Structure 1
């Protein structure tokens, strides 16, 4: 927390400051914010890939952090040189502006937009926590896979920010558009649960890769199939929210900063709640279902408070949809992710051979009866990867592995070897 707090505070303040400087035309505010938001997020996605696939591997973690810090210093110096006002004979001093009261009026309408902004951030980062857990079964758990997952998440937001820009040139109901985005996110998450075995291919053993490019695109396909659609819709939602909140505001920078801050605060709370409360107690499937229900409820709230139709029709439709969702949840199977959990790098296991299955805090554990070698044995699988077995072949290589530490120490007197080279 102490390590990242100060730099992330300045990172969070950067986009509102840029929007204050560049987004100056109220008529084109949505387009300008959309472009800035997309470019900023695209840079984040590129940074994830560049750091994960190149910098850390070639230079190390510390050197990568120093490179990033150097880039920040360079940007700061360029800004000082370009934007300082040169007046001969006048000393240019540095000072912070005096704090001013926020000009955003927190009326009923703006309070709703800020609440939706918070919920968008909450669900987006909570989804990311669960997706990170599930993608282990498709792309592994290395620094490359994490970089790819995060870059894919950010790239989807970038695409969403760019796709929404043309809509600001038209006279449309942005509340209705935001409602459709929320329903779309919820629907795709439910769809992804039912099609999870198709969306996530099995983790490919490294010795079967033809080349690194093949590995990259297979992993990209898995990450994109799982998260691209909802992240695009999240990316389209933020510029719409800023357009709705800042419309008519005299201080665009502070208004946008509040929306951005609420969205980020929601992301912080969402990641904590998902990681510390929902996943440990409910598991991956029920966590995704709960989060998708939040998106559905957000959409129903936006629809119920809109000006479409009459109040009676809106409330009736919202109540009817709530009842349908409740009935759907009652009929929904609770083992939709079982096929993902019941497979390893050799393929899907037979559910009838399952002995034990448990989602833990950091790992999903599965134990099977395995008769692939012609003899009945038990096999331990963690996060979709074979770790250990009690078959004759497995016992042979594990016994041989136990000699390696002994060969590296001259004249050992006391020996203790636990799980060396296996799970």
Structure 2
């Protein structure tokens, strides 16, 4: 990937479509961020015949081209999925909500950065991403959002859960009320591109767990935990769906690294945005919920408030579902059923949670990129095992 990129291909057309005006680019200031495919952009331009110059701060994600191999289908699929999410799924669900005259604050697109433009290629007939593809979003940092630098307190946790519940409720409701529309407008973007790579998947959850259990005189649990991890891995790999009542569009890597939060002048969390959507999938809502809680919420908060946190998410989910005309179709969504699903899904996502915890709690990284684990990882892992598996 070219790290000396001087301009974004097709930016003028993207801005013309965004503003519905003829736009003339005056200048582009680009800064490469943590990887060559992520760029901070300040675009300067004039609209139509105006004499003054405007500026727009954007975050740009380019399609990652792997120079080591000829074709990396994971990179291509991940980029296409995220572009499709912004181009098709967000507008469809938002337009559906507007057709019901739902409140502005409930609209689906507000959960994510605003999209300026998204394309897999400047060539209109292309179906596969190329080097000219770009996802251009408004720069959240320019709007006062920041990435959390520590695990979340209870206020921040509840803010995120409210946003998660809105994100999960909309697809469930559309599926219940207008299944054929859901099949026509959403399902094609779930099957056109399969993103095979799993985040953190290279780490061995059994080894991570066994080491911690041995150091804490819990060796007698190793055999049982290993059997659950094997079940978790097989459940993920086989991806068998027997009942999709609680299935929705999930982020599938929902953790603090993929959130940006805005705080008010007193330091209280005010709003949040969900970012990095290349893993999104049609999955169980509890997968996102549990993955987020056990990787991203302060461990002491989780220990003290876990039942009430689950209750908060469920209440927010049902509150949002009831804003749609679902009527008697809401019957299966009871709290008792929800808590049963939490227990079942907890075992299924346990492996992914353990693998992710190694990164979200690490004290740094070795030269080979592997996480350096410490007491926080140990405490969080033990709490996760005992909570998810209901060990007393």
TM-score (norm 1): 0.23
**Structure number, greater radius of gyration:** 1
TM-score (norm 2): 0.25
Give the strand-richer structure, 1 or 2: 2
Give the helix-richer structure, 1 or 2: 1
Higher relative contact order (CA 8 A, sep 6+): 1
